[in-house]
Chain A
Amino acid sequence: MSNVVKKTGRILRAPENFVDSSLVQEISKSGLNEDRRAFLRRSFLAASAAMASGTVLAQAAANSLAGDSNILNLPEHARTLGKPVAASAYGMPSAFETNLQRRESPGLTRVPAASVSFAPLQGLFGIITPSGLHFERHHQGWYDIDPSKHRFMINGLVKNPKVYTMDDLMRMPSVSRMHFIECGANTAMEWGNVAVPTVQYSHGMLSCSEFTGVPLSVLLEDCGYDKKRAKVVLAEGADGSGMTRTISIDRALDDVIVAWGMNGEMLRPENGYPLRLVVPGVQGVSWVKWLRRIEVGDKPYGTKDEAIHYIDAMPDGTFRQYTSIQECKSVITTPSAGQTLLDKGFYNITGLAWSGRSKIKRVDVSVDGGRNWRTARLETPILSKCLTRFNIDWVWDGSPVVLQSRAIDETGYVQPKINELRAVRGTKSIYHNNAIQSWKVAESGEVSNVQVY
């Protein structure tokens, strides 16, 4: 028997000698009838299946030396009229894409209104996260706020405390910037040991969008902020949790945006419609959603989400407070844990890299557990404090391997190994786990989550 190729769309050699000799005699003597035809069909299917392991059963049976039935028999969409324009006024993904959803991690929290849903990084391309798959983190649920009733206030160390409507804000000078947002607790569950089965759960508190809004610096100027005394701003949300976070005046005047736009349209309600703060490079909790107020101050505010949570436990029992910046990090999104390679041969290893301090300078990939590295291609655009997509060629020979990616940013900082992070921070820090991620490919083709030193 010739080499069997185990994929859809390939031509398979038909099986031979699969018919019982007594049936052959019957057919020779009395010809074919429906029963004998059916029997032949079933035997052919069984024989084909035995030959073509790993392929769709129906596909294998249909294939013959003549070619793929998907080509030889024109499909319905080649022979009919399709749907009209504007059949759906707001278009949705294909019905064949329903497997990719943002998902909760069972047992992570007891209450879904104070919880997380993770983005399906394993199935996404490029650097923009589709808005409907953007990860969520809420503390007291989310809302769909009436934008005509929403108000934004700036007060504190300013000459003129002001109130703005959405109409006002959307008349201001506007900018558009692409930035990643990452929860400080992304990959938190892996500090001690492997805990989750796929990249969606290990790295999915991460998304990237193009945000449009007015720079906070412009609004602070408009209110006449006190340039001498201002050291921090407090951002406050209009939601039930009244989320508050202290942000340095340095960040506030640099690239913080009071934003309403997300990927060309208004923010989604789950992402803070109609107004949120964008704090590039800083952990997601500071990107206050349903933003209602900015207060200019001269001392940090010690809010709940910077004095009880989002504090990093150190091995000596102290907590690091006000750890805002997300450091350089990367992960391979395919092949990743929870996926199976069906085949030896060529693959494109692909993944994401990002840094809260600058642009990504370089990404290296290892296919032998970190012993040897090659430098990956970076896809454009390469932007500061934004996701960067990397790709690299790989030929898999079927042997067990461990895949890793490692990012370096423009400051020269190298993404650390998990043991290097633990040596400094212990295993209970919860936040800011930016360690190199390892995926093991078994001989069976199954990829799983592992940790190596």
Chain B
Amino acid sequence: MSRFINTVAALALAATSGLAFAEKFPNIGRTATEKEIAAWDIDVRPDFKGLPAGSGTVEKGMQVWEGKCASCHGTFGESNEVFTPIIGGTTPEDIKTGRVASLTSGKQPQRTTMMKVPTVSTLWDYINRAMPWTAPKTLTTEEVYSVVAYILNMAEIVPDDFTLSNTNIAAVQARMPNRNGMTTNHGMWDVKGKPDVKSVACMKDCPVDEKIRSTLPESSRNAHGNVAEQNRAFGATRGTDTSKPATTAPLSAAKVAVKATATAPAAAQHPGMAAAKQNACVACHGITNKIVGPGFNEIAAKYKGNAGAEAALFGKVKNGASGAWGPVPMPAQTHVKDDEIRAIISWILAGAK
């Protein structure tokens, strides 16, 4: 497209007679103001270009963590209930070498963030722009430094009394357990790069192994729902009825007739259910299971027959609450309109169907 833009630019220049300055595209866009750039230019590079001045302590990080992070990540960043664990699998030896040994030992069942991330700037940048998950870009600079300090402390990279700041973060980088664990020795950055696997397009009597190496476990046959309902009901093939075991008899034998009918349109959804999904309530509350907060079925059971439940729950959702189900607080759901809150609550109390 470089040829394209040269042509267009030449034409545009030719067309701009009489303008005070020879802009390529007259009257399109305008210079960004310093404040605008500051508002959006928030990225932090591995060499810390873009990192704002500031600091935060492990101590403060622990407080912020308790209130805003633990519900998804676990008190020690170890939870894998909602997202993959942050902490785990790294050792003081890794801090020395910069290569996480458990990546090859096979001893660690899950690869945690700290096992993988080579650059502490990534943690700072991501927490600043995207966390907490339900309220991104609401942490102060000090809070971001503190939370990063807490994570580093949990990973035993910095001591309990540490203050992380823009002046010592480079020294912390030198202690990241997987700082030497990346490679760019591959052909997938450059469109003309050299592939790492070279296969041959054999056409006849090719060497193949007859043995089937892997099949879908029987227990997974219907795990994605009845696949017959995920295929068109006419055409070259039909969807397989995975709600029944696989037939083994060859085609010529008689078998149960296959009905070709259109599926009925789905029953109308309760507006409370739609609102619960759209407002991400289901991010933390399962319909029949606890995720971060209690399942909707548990809430319905607890408040069954309780005449004041609707009003009480309205207040909790709108203003936030804690203590009824455990220590983790539910933040105020300021993004949900009042009538939506009411619809959601009435749907939950009716059994969340």
Interface residues of A (CB under 8 A from B): 8, 49-50, 52-57, 60, 95-101, 103, 105-107, 110-114, 120, 122-123, 139-141, 153, 155, 160-165, 168, 171-173, 175, 193-198, 200-201, 215, 217-218, 221-222, 234, 236, 240-242, 244, 248, 250-251, 253-255, 281, 292-293, 295, 297, 299-304, 307-308, 311-314, 316-325, 327, 334-335, 337-344, 347-348, 356-357, 362, 364, 369-373, 398, 402, 406, 408, 413-417, 420-421, 423-425, 432, 440, 442-453
Contacts and interface: CB of A to CB of B under 8 A. Distances in A.
A112 B230 contact: no
Interface stretch (B61-69, B257-265, B339-347): B257-265
Given A55-B258, A318-B182, A342-B238, 17 more contacts: A56-B259, A99-B232, A100-B230, A110-B291, A155-B37, A197-B227, A198-B230, A236-B43, A254-B191, A304-B125, A320-B184, A373-B202, A416-B199, A444-B247, A444-B251, A449-B215, A451-B213
B236 interface: yes
A335 B236 contact: yes
30 contacts: A55-B258, A99-B239, A111-B283, A113-B280, A168-B28, A200-B230, A215-B4, A218-B5, A222-B24, A254-B1, A293-B41, A302-B118, A307-B118, A307-B182, A308-B116, A312-B186, A318-B183, A321-B183, A322-B184, A325-B191, A334-B237, A342-B238, A357-B191, A372-B203, A372-B206, A408-B201, A414-B200, A414-B201, A444-B247, A449-B216
Interface stretch (B51-59, B130-138, B153-161, B303-311): B130-138
Interface residues of B, number: 121
A40 B31 CA distance: 86
Most buried by A among B32, B113, B117, B283: B32
A198 B225 CA distance: 11
A417 B199 contact: yes
A112 B248 contact: no
B220 A340 contact: no
Nearest to B112: A308
Most buried by B among A97, A111, A120, A442: A111
Contacts of A110: 81-83, 291
A352 B31 CA distance: 45
B312 interface: no
B347 to A, nearest CB: 17
Nearest to A321: B182
Nearest to A399: B250
Given A234-B43, A302-B119, A442-B246, A373 B206 contact: yes
Given A53-B254, A153-B32, A370-B206, A242 B136 contact: yes
Contacts of B186: 312, 320, 323
B174 interface: no
A402 B211 CA distance: 11
Contacts of A337: 216
Most buried by B among A110, A293, A440: A110
Contacts, number: 385
Contact of A53 (B81, B104, B119, B255): B255
A303 B92 CA distance: 25
Given A163-B29, A344-B251, A244 B82 contact: no
B5 A221 contact: yes
Interface in B223-245: 223-225, 227, 229-233, 235-240, 242
B214 interface: yes
Given A302-B122, A414-B200, A313 B103 contact: yes
Contacts of B299: none
Contacts of B25: 171-172, 222
B19 interface: no
A105 B224 contact: yes
Contacts of A372: 203-206
Interface of B: 1-2, 4-5, 8-9, 24-25, 28-32, 36-37, 40-43, 45-47, 49, 81-83, 99-101, 103-104, 111, 113, 116-119, 121-122, 125-126, 129-130, 133, 136-137, 181-193, 195-206, 208-216, 220-221, 223-225, 227, 229-233, 235-240, 242, 246-252, 254-260, 262-263, 265-266, 277, 280, 282-283, 291
Given A302-B46, A327-B188, A442-B246, A236 B240 contact: no
Nearest to B247: A444
Contact of A253 (B1, B83, B183, B248): B1
A338 B262 contact: no
A314 B133 CA distance: 30
Nearest to A215: B1
A127 B344 CA distance: 41
Nearest to B111: A313
B191 A356 contact: yes
B28 A172 contact: yes
Given A99-B229, A194-B215, A424 B196 contact: yes
Contacts of B137: 240, 242
Given A201-B224, A451-B213, A55 B237 contact: no
Most buried by B among A253, A348, A452: A452
Contact of B205 (A57, A163, A371, A448): A371
B32 A369 contact: no
A452 B257 contact: no
Contacts of A402: 212
Nearest to A339: B237
Contact of B262 (A98, A299, A323, A340): A98
A56 B260 contact: yes
- Closest 3 A/B residue pairs (Cβ): A242-B129, A53-B254, A317-B104
A336 to B, nearest CB: 8
Nearest to B237: A339
Given A250-B190, A369-B208, A372-B205, A339 B43 contact: no
Contact of B29 (A56, A164, A340): A164
Most buried by A among B4, B129, B136: B129
A323 B184 CA distance: 8
A408 B200 CA distance: 10
A141 B280 contact: yes
Nearest to A385: B191
A155 B260 CA distance: 58
Contact of B193 (A100, A242, A325, A398): A325
Given A99-B231, A161-B37, A173-B8, A406 B209 contact: no
B213 A453 contact: yes
Nearest to B278: A141
Contacts of B257: 49, 52-57, 60
Contacts of A318: 181-183
A288 to B, nearest CB: 13
